[in-house]
Structure 1
């Protein structure tokens, strides 16, 4: 039959000597010598456009089932000598491909992926992943992953998922019994629905914060920012600003025909409207503006979070908690103080697993020169402490006379409904007294006020990197904060 070289010789030997696949399947070899993976193969949609189909082993009759008892890509998982395994390794990035991400699930599916449903829902970490994964891993604080026992062959599908962010790509080739590193910065979350599935996000603007620019700078394509009647994954609504400031209230010319934003007060007044979104992001308006947040709106936001919604509230949007229904006011000790000075040292609470991860991640991405500490500009103070029975403190500062700062909490989270058993908690609320950097311009037509998105690599300031980490944590599946993120188990 001629000379057999390299991995092909081993595959044929393994097929002859022992079951060639994991999990008890006795299937044939992978079809010959297998080249190195590039990791940058063509995108296959996962919940967005396209079919998202899974390539099965040739000769399976289209069903993915073989006579050996294994199914689909299981039949391409091989036994390696000396206890070795076939691995795929790499780093997962945010959509812009600049910052590595923690706690992203990476897996090889064995079936076609199911669509992801929009809106408030119960997305817990103990729910089985779509596609019957046969190899799974989580990224670490460097964004690194190593998948073990990966099927060998050509056109192997690879899925990256964080909550309702999901993208499927194709690895052109996977070689057996060696590591197959992916090409750097090719494994990332989707920028648009043409690349995969993005959560449905509603964002309200404000005169004192420009969180819409953070979404744009982390790589979401401009085409995904549309009015609510459009098909974009991010809908912007016009919030308020104090006298002398302005909040962004329309798109720039050339994007959605320069359309004005609908008003935030009309958006958040209805539970039915809120429930259409996976996540609601509320940019600081500079004051309470209580007339825009009547009792019915406070109740709607409470019910949205309790029904599985995710809420990110910046500074003066503490109104939803401080004046909210039932146990929302109990989440923290509220006390408005004068704002501390710029450059305030803020500490990471490392008493829980994700706090430790945040400390390490901030150091890894260059946001922290002193492990467990960052410096923030334009700090605010509304929270003295959190109710530890309900909420988790992530970022805090000690009393500091040099910065005219009382001790306070700068970022905390809690799962909802408050008081429900952990297995029944499906929503999440986060509150921050940290604004994005002042270089972005509130009030400018979106996204013309967002600095540094296009052109050369833009280095986010430390506080924006921290907020980016928090936004992706808000997107993740729900689990107790006092436990490390669970690694999904292959089917």
Structure 2
């Protein structure tokens, strides 16, 4: 049983600080009670290509001209070589791409990997791509999703039709895996007693040592699993070295939010281009950061846009729910359809809700709702967002999900043993439908920034 966090003098103090700090934008707070949420009418917000008007984004820049061009096709896969990656950039180059900067940066899709590219295309929902008009010669095929990057040297002969096998078109499992320019994003994971996003990363195919684990939980008396997450939060320059920071559900570090420097560091990390991936009870790492709080309105009920609610106030969800959730994004629905049993008629099964899970009230118009469903808890009944993302200042990205991995984490008596290598403590079973969604959104949040329409 989770311990409910209550409103305290600390939380009230944070609210007062947030009121003084202020933030841009605002929450949509149309009065009402527990069942007042009304999803935005279609068409739902979607991401644009990030390209200038008049450019369709299929090939950018235009392909070179030659008398006997070749065609190169394949599918972009996750590092495991089996899970397709949509919206990846596939380009043809004659010189290696520039190295990524040592810290996070504003990486817009409109500027993504085009310098020095002879042509460029995006992978489809199933990871597929086809590059036509490739002139013969020695080239480099660059497969990129955010800071996941595979560089494939290729000798192209005149008029050839080249079908690249999955082992060549999967993203790398580690930096410099086959080519010095191969890259994976630098990832930090704060452990949680009720979630294990690190295991989704592992099952996507990343090597253990590419996933840096920071201890943020009690582990029910078990030894720490890595360096303290509090040390990372105290050092903004070190935070900026990580492309994505995951904060699992059920951590023991909420008291750090009382420290102004920690709140400032988290906000500045995202402002600088960092990605923040937060699940369930760790939602206060969004709600208590004034710059981020305005994008989401958590239960209970509507609240003022610049005033975070008391810590833990949204932990109202009923336990044991099995939700027949609606997938709001067409491409996500198509992608889930590639995995048997993951989706049917636009709906997917979301479960493993424990008593007191964190419930959203509604999202603003600038927030992308990926999944929503009929839920209840403490007198609240109705359709609520379950998974959302939003951009911050068109530079950083934030994801929040009310559900998480199928395993309940270290709090599960049948769960893994803390401290073991990921390859030993993470399940080898196929990902569940909700874990598939979280996998898809890892690639989405890691990718370049596209404005929300």
State whether TM-score is above 0.5.
yes
Instruction: Spell out the pairing of 1:73-472 with structure 2 (5 A cutoff).
Output: 78-80=66-68, 86-129=70-113, 132-153=116-137, 155-171=138-154, 173-177=155-159, 179-195=161-177, 196-224=182-210, 234-241=211-218, 245=220, 249-250=224-225, 261-285=226-250, 289-296=253-260, 297-326=262-291, 328-335=293-300, 336-349=315-328, 355-366=329-340, 368-379=342-353, 381-399=357-375, 406-417=382-393, 425-438=394-407, 441-445=415-419, 446-447=421-422, 448-452=424-428, 458-472=429-443
The alpha carbon displacement at 1:332 in A equals 2.1
> Structure 1 399/279 Cα, relative in aligned 2: closer, same or farther at 3 Å?
closer
Counterpart Cα distance in 2 of 1:327 and 1:193: 31
Moved more, 173-182 or 304-313: 173-182
Counterpart secondary structure, 2:388 = strand
Counterpart Cα distance in 2 of 1:439 and 1:308: 30
Cα deviation code 1:395-416 (max 9, x no counterpart): 1102479xx9742211111111
> Structure 1 128/310 Cα, relative in aligned 2: closer, same or farther at 3 Å?
closer
2:412 corresponds in structure 1 to none
The alpha carbon displacement at 1:331 in A equals 2.1
* TM-score normalised over the length of structure 2: 0.73
The alpha carbon displacement at 1:96 in A equals 0.8
2:59 corresponds in structure 1 to none
Aligned residues: 361
The alpha carbon displacement at 1:247 in A equals 7.2
The alpha carbon displacement at 1:469 in A equals 0.4
Q: Do the aligned partners of 2:362 and 2:384 also contact (CA within 8 Å) in 1?
A: no
Q: Do the aligned partners of 1:94 and 1:219 also contact (CA within 8 Å) in 2?
A: yes
Q: Do the aligned partners of 1:331 and 1:386 also contact (CA within 8 Å) in 2?
A: yes
Cα deviation code 1:21-46 (max 9, x no counterpart): xxxxxxxxxxxxxxxxxxxxxxxxxx
The alpha carbon displacement at 1:330 in A equals 4.8
2:5 corresponds in structure 1 to none
1:476 corresponds in structure 2 to 447
Cα deviation code 1:121-162 (max 9, x no counterpart): 111111151661112211111110011211224x53211001
Counterpart secondary structure, 1:390 = coil
Q: For structure 1, which runs of at least 5 residues remain unmatched after alignment? A: 1-73, 225-233, 251-260, 350-354, 418-424, 453-457, 483-491
Cα deviation code 1:334-355 (max 9, x no counterpart): 3332334353212111xxxxx2
Q: For structure 2, which runs of at least 5 residues remain unmatched after alignment? A: 1-62, 301-314, 410-414
Counterpart Cα distance in 2 of 1:108 and 1:276: 28
Larger Rg: 1
Counterpart Cα distance in 2 of 1:247 and 1:428: 33
The alpha carbon displacement at 1:168 in A equals 0.6
Counterpart Cα distance in 1 of 2:81 and 2:381: 36
Counterpart secondary structure, 2:317 = coil
> Structure 1 324/408 Cα, relative in aligned 2: closer, same or farther at 3 Å?
same
Higher relative contact order (CA 8 A, sep 6+): 2
Counterpart secondary structure, 1:262 = coil
The alpha carbon displacement at 1:109 in A equals 0.8
* TM-score normalised over the length of structure 1: 0.68
Counterpart Cα distance in 2 of 1:334 and 1:345: 21
The alpha carbon displacement at 1:385 in A equals 3.5
Counterpart Cα distance in 2 of 1:346 and 1:337: 19
> Structure 1 330/451 Cα, relative in aligned 2: closer, same or farther at 3 Å?
closer
Instruction: Spell out the pairing of 1:23-34 with structure 2 (5 A cutoff).
Output: none
> Structure 1 385/342 Cα, relative in aligned 2: closer, same or farther at 3 Å?
closer
Counterpart Cα distance in 2 of 1:398 and 1:306: 33
Q: Do the aligned partners of 1:360 and 1:371 also contact (CA within 8 Å) in 2?
A: no
